[in-house]
């Protein structure tokens, strides 16, 4: 039992950015259990090789010559870049939040505005990017402010639709802090729309997800929207 719970602890600690711990975890982690230890070269290699092969085929498919000088290392570069941009699959956002929860009696709205978001749509694997605005009203617990952009990043570094991304951020904060309410608004530009000429060049997609008092209290909701200057 004890070793089981210790293993659980270690599995989530990859995001604790404690290099001493990391080294120890690396020795004990289970290769069949994706624990997010990006520093395992052999394991990483087992993903990169087939991915690079697939990119090679993609290059042929679009009519390129993968053997020409400029493209020689492209399959490997694209594979590494994709692994980096999707590292959120191997990180646990709720555990990340739990590492910085503090008891505090502050009970007004906490708002983190203009968080940069870079993600990829799951339909085209093209980027979408913009800003996230996140607020919550504590109920005895607050979270270290820097963890909020980090949680956004963990979810954004997965293949996403903006709607789900917005809800996942809300739910993670709601689940960990149990606050009186959470409000999340994301405004983003989708390359799959603008590059393919589906929408005007500057069109923004806005999504929101709320819980608790952000749903039930009109003045809380209005204050949030006013503070973020949402149109
Ligand atoms: Zn798309």
pLDDT score at 40 = 65
pLDDT score at 230 = 65
Q: Which residue has the tokens 């990006």?
A: 38
Q: Which of 38, 64, 192, 199 is catalytic?
A: 192
Calpha distance 110→56 (Å, rounded) = 47
Q: What is the DSSP string of 95-145?
A: HHHHTTEEE----S-EEEEEEEEEEEETTT--EEEEEEEEEEE-SSEEE-T
Q: Which of 162, 167, 168, 187 is catalytic?
A: 162
132 and 194 in a single domain? The answer is: yes
Write the CATH number for 25: 1.10.286.10
Residue 170 CB contacts under 8 Å (≥ 6 apart), including other chains: 182, 183, 184, 209, 210, 211
CA nearest 182: which of 114, 134, 115, 128? Answer: 134
CB-CB contact of 88 with 78 (8 Å):
no
pLDDT score at 44 = 82
Q: Which of 121, 133, 153, 187 is catalytic?
A: 121
CA nearest 23: which of 48, 40, 2? Answer: 40
98 and 168 in a single domain? The answer is: yes
Catalytic-residue membership of 178: no
pLDDT score at 199 = 65
Catalytic-residue membership of 162: yes
| 195 has a pLDDT exceeding 80 | yes
pLDDT score at 13 = 35
CB-CB contact of 112 with 173 (8 Å):
no
22-43: average pLDDT: 47
Q: Which of 45, 74, 89 is the last residue of a domain?
A: 89
Q: Which domain holds residue 80?
A: 2-89
166-194: average pLDDT: 97
6 and 20 in a single domain? The answer is: yes
CB-CB contact of 168 with 155 (8 Å):
yes
């Amino acid at each position: 039992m004890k070793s089981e719970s210790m293993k659980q602890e270690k599995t989530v600690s990859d995001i604790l950015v404690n290099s001493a711990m990391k080294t120890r975890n690396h020795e004990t982690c289970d290769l069949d259990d994706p624990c997010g230890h990006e520093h395992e070269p052999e394991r990483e290699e087992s993903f990169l090789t087939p991915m690079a092969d697939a990119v090679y085929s993609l290059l042929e498919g679009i009519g390129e010559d993968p053997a020409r000088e400029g493209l020689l290392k492209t399959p490997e570069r694209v594979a590494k870049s994709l692994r980096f941009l999707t590292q959120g699959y191997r990180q646990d956002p709720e555990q990340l939040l739990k590492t910085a929860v503090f008891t505090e009696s502050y009970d007004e709205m906490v708002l983190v505005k203009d968080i940069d978001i870079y993600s990829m749509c799951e339909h085209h694997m093209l980027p979408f990017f913009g800003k996230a605005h996140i607020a919550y009203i504590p109920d005895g617990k607050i979270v270290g402010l820097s963890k909020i952009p980090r949680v956004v990043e963990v979810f954004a570094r997965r293949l996403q639709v903006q709607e789900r991304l917005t809800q996942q951020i809300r739910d993670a904060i709601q689940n960990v802090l149990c606050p009186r309410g959470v409000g999340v608004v994301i405004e983003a530009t989708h390359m799959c729309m603008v590059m393919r000429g589906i929408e005007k060049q500057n069109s923004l997609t806005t999504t929101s997800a709320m819980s608790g008092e952000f749903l039930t209290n009109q003045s809380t909701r209005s204050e949030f929207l006013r503070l973020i200057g949402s149109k």
